[in-house]
Amino acid sequence: MDLIKAVKEMDEFLPRFGSKNKIRIVYDVSAFFDGDVLMIITTDAISAFDFVMLNDIPDKGIVLNEISAWWFQKTSHVCKNHFITNDLDFIPSEINHPQLAGQFRQLLSDYLDVLKGRVMLVRKAKPLPAEFIVRRYLLGSAFDSYEKTGMVCGIRLRKGLKKGDRLDRLIFTPSTKAGFGEHDSNITYQQLKEMIGVKPAREVKKKSLALFEYAEHLASAKGLTLQDTKFEFALLPDGTVILIDELFTPDNSRWAPDYTKQPFRDALIRLGYNKKGPIYVGTPLIRETQQNYAKALQMITGKTL
């Protein structure tokens, strides 16, 4: 069975959580567990410049899911996160409900093969309405903003920096979470405090910087230089801030050597992509991107597909 067919069938008996997701299919499976639990399925879709392309990168979803699971487990002492398990054969006792969990596996028995590797059970939480970016290097929209204003998210940087330069210190550059078809836009720390409250803003800034520093240390031991990344945080009902979504993946981070989504974006531009809508991507670029993602998985987790 393929993923599209599996999802179509699961839609008949599992409630979806969120409707505008581009890359992930999310089900609310709280009915089968003790506590509020989501099942996230990462597809092989690839988005660039706010559009989801018309063809997939084979196994990309498995790569992203495995890499996120690896980082969530490695960084849980730095910041609590939503990860529960990525193995449906092993439901941890913290959420296990003796009768219901069995029923869940029974319901999903036809789909376990297609879900394998691309599924994660996570704690459901209320996402904070912003994206939390940390940068070690001057790249992407940060460089564009610096070129125009000398600043990024209200932070003034020293004169004379070039694209791709290492910054004098780590910077925290939040942005809005754009709705469908809109672009994210950078905001200042002051604006973030107004949006989510002073205390949560302080906490996510501290956590973001600590996570980055810990991860760059781990990555460098594997020969990777972490350049920037994006976090998402959410609130549990008791007010605890937890890390959600995906973590230090080729989709939400940049690093060197560049086994990330960046070469794909660059290639689209080189091929004359007009950024006006989704397109079919040619086979050579699909293959090259597939190899890039596989290399990312191998470098970070040591695993092969």
Ligand X SMILES: Nc1ncnc2c1ncn2[C@@H]1O[C@H](COP(=O)(O)OP(=O)(O)OP(=O)(O)O)[C@@H](O)[C@H]1O
Residues that bind ligand X (CB under 6 A): 18, 20-24, 26, 38, 47, 82, 122-125, 127, 232, 234, 244-245
Task: Please check whether residue 156 is in contact with residue 142, taking contact to mean a CB–CB distance below 8 angstroms.
Answer: no
Minimum distance, C-beta of residue 32 to ligand X, in the bound complex (Å): 16
Instruction: Report the nearest approach of ligand X to the CB of residue 41 (Å).
Output: 10
**Which of 180, 189, 178, 174 has the alpha carbon at shortest distance from 233?**
174
Are residues 176 and 187 in contact, defined by beta-carbon separation less than 8 angstroms? yes
Least distance CB 296 / ligand X (angstroms): 16
What 8-state DSSP symbol labels residue 19? S
Residue 124 or 207: the one with the smaller Cβ distance to ligand X is 124
Nearer to ligand X, 57 or 157 (CB): 57
* Contact yes or no for 66/50 (Cβ under 8 A): no
Q: Which is nearer to ligand X, 50 or 258 (CB)?
A: 50
Q: How far is CA 285 from CA 11, 27, 290, 304, in A?
A: 32, 31, 8, 21
Between 51 and 214, CB nearer to ligand X: 51
Q: Which is nearer to ligand X, 125 or 226 (CB)?
A: 125
Closest to ligand X by CB, 43 vs 290, is 43
Query: At 20, which amino acid appears?
Result: K
The angle, 0 to 180 degrees and rounded to 10, between the axes of the packed helices 198-220 and 189-196 is 120
Q: Quick one: tokens of 189?
A: 């720390």
- Closest C-alpha among 203, 221, 219 to residue 136: 219
Residue, CB closest to ligand X: 21
Beta bridge partners of 40: 26, 120
The distance of closest approach from Cβ of residue 22 to ligand X in the complex, given in angstroms and rounded to an integer, is 4
What are the beta bridge partners of residue 231? Answer: 132
Beta carbon nearer to ligand X, 161 or 273: 273
Q: Residue ranges of the alpha helices (H) in 48-139?
A: 60-75, 98-108, 112-115
**Tally of CB atoms within 10 A around 52:** 13
The least CB distance from residue 105 to ligand X, in Å, is: 21
Report the distance separating Cα 267 and Cα 287, nearest Å: 13
Smallest separation, CB 48 to ligand X (Å): 9
40 or 167: whose CB is closer to ligand X? 40
CB 184, min distance to ligand X, A:
9
Supply the minimum distance, in Å, between the C-beta of residue 21 and ligand X: 3
Q: Classify 32 as helix, strand or coil.
A: helix
Q: Which of 33, 111, 21, 50 is nearest to 273 (CA)?
A: 50
